[in-house]
Amino acid sequence: MTTKPGQKGIRFIDEYRNTELSRRVIERIYRRSTRNIHLMEFCGGHTVTIARNGIRQLLPPAIEMLSGPGCPVCVTANRDLDRAIALAHERGVIITTFGDMMKVPGSRSSLQEAKAQGADVRIVYSTLDALQIARGNPEKSVVFIGIGFETTAPTIAASILQAQREGVNNFFVLSFLKLCPPVIKALLDEGEVKLDGIVCPGHVSTIIGSHPWEFIPRDYAIACVVSGFEPLDVLQCIEMLVAQIESGERRVEIAYRRGVKAEGNQWALKQIDIVFEPCSALWRGMGEVPQSGLCLREAYERFDAERAFEIDPGPTIEHKGCLCGEVLRGVKRPTDCRLFRHACTPEHPVGPCMVSSEGSCAAYYHYGADL
């Protein structure tokens, strides 16, 4: 059973998709909205929810929604993709990766093409799957391609700690892990887009909590609300952002309390801190961002593929005409790209924003190009 619309509390998933409840929230947004405001949903999961449910079209015309760089596959730069692909061609190496990474084009090819050429590239569903492959192939070097944000980092850290406990010496991680608060700061410092509010990522915030976002209202006078991923979650988040902006207040709020605590997940944060330390990272469209990546600490360097292998990917080549970097910064929409729906499709992607299930271009392609 589920509660009826209007009853106190929402306990079941179908209620977060309830049309009547959503209509009421939209009506409140219309009543509160009196000015032009610009909001950015950072997370690719939010971009998909907004596109799939037509939320942009349901909002007042004065509210503009921009998509941000919150897709870990999309923000992985060609230089890093090339390193992973080059490593796949090394003799005696098994590459393990999440499925989203297979079709992402680097400068000259992809992991999928490397596999077709004979490289041993395997899709896994967790880092523990990769560790099991290492146990079963002691004569091979098994490398996990570490893509993700703070959400993925604890599981990768846990697999490294498990490998250390078991003495699995043929397991390595090529870390392309990224941290979200530093890149949001870099985006705001760049000043290319005018923002009044940010829909903060829900899954990342389950790990880091809401406190790391406090610099945004404090230093930039921008409203922040952490959102879940169902349609009603996102609409409630937008309503809370509008209320902050209309009242002239700026603070961090949580509209996803069933998943996020202000202090985050302390156990997960501890695992990250044990194994990793912050370092500079390369972001597609944004270049090198200080302290926005995670590198293995010296105590765990024997699991670091960067140190264990000499990787020569050759020169980096950017794909002409692809606007993925501009889309990730929120300065362009996918429909601004002349390759969109023509040379670039999910079957034949030119850039990673069309490959990932959380990519803005893929969301626009599947749910309508007029968003």
End residue of a domain, out of 284, 301, 317: 317
In the 8-state DSSP scheme, what is residue 160? Answer: H
- 122-144 per-residue burial string, b: 16 or more CB within 10 A, e: under 16: eebebbeebbbbbeeeeeebbbb
Look up residue 217 and give its two tokens.
């209202």
pLDDT of residue 368: 77
Q: Residue 43 forms beta bridges with which residues?
A: 70
Identify whether residues 347 and 295 lie together within a single domain: no
Query: Where is the domain boundary, 282, 302, 317?
Result: 317
Q: What is the DSSP letter of 76?
A: B
In the predicted structure, residue 304 carries a pLDDT above the cut 70: yes
- 202-212 pLDDT per residue, tens: 999 999 999 99
Within this chain, do residues 126 and 79 fall inside the same structural domain, yes or no? yes
Which range marks the domain in which residue 131 is found? 35-317
Q: What is the mean pLDDT of the chain?
A: 94
What is the share, in percent, of the chain residues with pLDDT greater than 70? 95
Residue-level pLDDT at 3: 42
Query: Is the same domain home to 313 and 329?
Result: no
Radius of gyration of the chain (CA): 21
Q: Does residue 256 lie in a domain region?
A: yes
Residue 9 pLDDT greater than 60, yes or no: no
CB 177 within 8 A of CB 147: yes
What's the rounded mean pLDDT across residues 76-99?
Answer: 96
Say whether both 273 and 150 belong to one domain. Answer: yes
Looking at residue 16, its pLDDT comes to: 76
User: Model confidence at 5, in pLDDT bands (50, 70, 90)?
Assistant: very low
User: Does 263 map to a domain?
Assistant: yes
- Looking at the fold, whether 125 and 204 belong to one and the same domain comes out as yes
Average pLDDT (75-104) is 96
Q: What is the mean pLDDT of residues 54-79?
A: 95
234 and 363 belong to one structural domain: no
Domain termination site, one of 317, 339, 356: 317
Buried b (16+ CB within 10 A) or exposed e, 29-55: beeebeeebbbbbbbbbbbbbbbebeb
pLDDT above 90: residue 11: no
Q: What is the mean pLDDT of residues 326-332?
A: 96
Would 13 be classed as within a structural domain?
Answer: no
User: How are beta strands 197-200 and 171-175 bridged, if at all?
Assistant: unpaired
Is 30 inside any structural domain? no
Check whether residue 302 and residue 345 sit in a common domain: no
CA distance linking residue 335 with residue 331, whole number of Å: 12
- Please measure the distance between the N-terminal and C-terminal CA atoms of the chain and give it in whole angstroms: 35
Answer whether residue 18 is part of any domain.
Answer: no
- pLDDT at site 19: 84
* CA–CA distances in Å: residue 74 to residues 136, 158, 227, 313, 315: 32, 25, 21, 19, 20
Q: Is the pLDDT of residue 370 over 70?
A: no
pLDDT for residue 365: 95
Give tens-digit pLDDT for 41-54. 999 999 999 999 99
Same domain, 251 and 345: no
> The CATH number of the domain where 170 resides is what?
3.40.50.11740
Assess whether pLDDT exceeds 50 at residue 102.
Answer: yes
Q: What pLDDT is recorded for position 90?
A: 95
If asked whether residues 333 and 204 sit together in one domain, one would say no
pLDDT at 10: 59
Q: How many distinct structural domains can be found in the chain?
A: 2
Please tell me the predicted confidence (pLDDT) of residue 318: 92
Domain co-membership, 69 together with 134: yes
Residue 3, domain member (yes or no): no
Over range 222-229, report the average pLDDT.
97
Distance CA 324, CA 322 (A): 6
Beta sheet of 223-226, edge-to-edge order: 63-70, 37-43, 197-200, 223-226, 252-254
- Check whether residue 252 and residue 336 sit in a common domain: no
Tens digit of each residue's pLDDT (9 = 90 or more) over 247-290 = 999 999 999 999 999 999 999 999 999 999 999 999 999 999 99
Which residues make Cβ contacts (< 8 Å) with residue 326, sequence separation at least 6? 285, 332, 336
pLDDT value for 12: 60
Answer yes or no: is pLDDT of 4 > 50: no
Residue 212 placed within a domain = yes
Statement to judge: residues 302 and 332 lie in one domain: no
Q: Is residue 195 part of a domain?
A: yes
